[in-house]
Amino acid sequence: MLTQFEQYAVTSMMGAGDTPPRANGTLCFASEWERSAFGVALALARDGHFEWEDFRRNLIAAIGDWERAQTPHTPDWNYYEQWLAALEATMLQHGLTTPEELAARTGAAA
Amino acid sequence: MSDRFQYPNDREARSAARAKALEALLIEKGIINATTVDTVLKVFETRMGPFNGAKIVARAWVDPAFKQRLVADTPAAIAELTDLPEGMAGAEGEHMRAVANGEGVHNLIICTLCSCYPWPVLGLPPYWYKDPTFRSRAAREPRAVLKEFGLDVPTATEVKVWDSSAQIRWFVIPERPAGTEGMSEAELAALVTPESMMGVAVANAA
Q: What is the pLDDT of residue B25?
A: 95
- pTM equals 0.81
Domain co-membership, B42 together with B132? no
Residue A109 has pLDDT above 50, yes or no: no
Q: Is residue B204 part of a domain?
A: no
Q: pLDDT band for position B104 (50/70/90)?
A: very high
Q: What is the pLDDT of residue B2?
A: 46
Owning domain of residue B130: 49-198
Region B169-180: mean pLDDT is: 95
Q: pLDDT band for position B99 (50/70/90)?
A: very high
pLDDT one-digit tens code per residue, B44-84: 888 888 999 999 999 999 999 999 999 999 989 998 998 88
CATH number of the domain bearing residue B101: 3.90.330.10
Domain co-membership, B39 together with B81? no
CA atoms within 13 A of residue A49's CA, in its CB half-sphere: 22
* % pLDDT > 90, chain A: 53
Q: Is residue B114 part of a domain?
A: yes
Domain co-membership, B114 together with B24? no
Q: Is residue B3 part of a domain?
A: no
| B13 contacts chain A (CB < 8 A) | no
Interface of B with A in 77-96 (CB under 8 A): 87, 91-92
Q: Is residue B98 part of a domain?
A: yes
Indicate yes or no: CB of B7 within 8 angstroms of CB of A37. no
Region B131-145: mean pLDDT is: 90
Q: Where are the alpha helices (DSSP H) in chain B?
A: 3-28, 36-42, 50-62, 64-72, 74-80, 119-122, 132-140, 142-148, 185-189, 194-198
Domain co-membership, B35 together with B53? no
Residue B166 has pLDDT above 80, yes or no: no
Indicate yes or no: CB of A96 within 8 angstroms of CB of B92. no
Q: Is residue B105 part of a domain?
A: yes
- What domains can you pick out in chain A, each with its CATH number? 4-109 (1.10.472.20)
| B26 contacts chain A (CB < 8 A) | yes
Note the ipTM here.
Answer: 0.89
Cα separation, B128 vs B134, whole angstroms: 7
Domain co-membership, B131 together with B97? yes
Q: What is the pLDDT of residue A2?
A: 44
pLDDT one-digit tens code per residue, A78-103: 899 999 999 999 999 999 999 999 88
Chain B residue numbers touching A26 (CB-CB < 8 A): 44-45, 49-50, 123-124
Catalytic residue status for B2: no
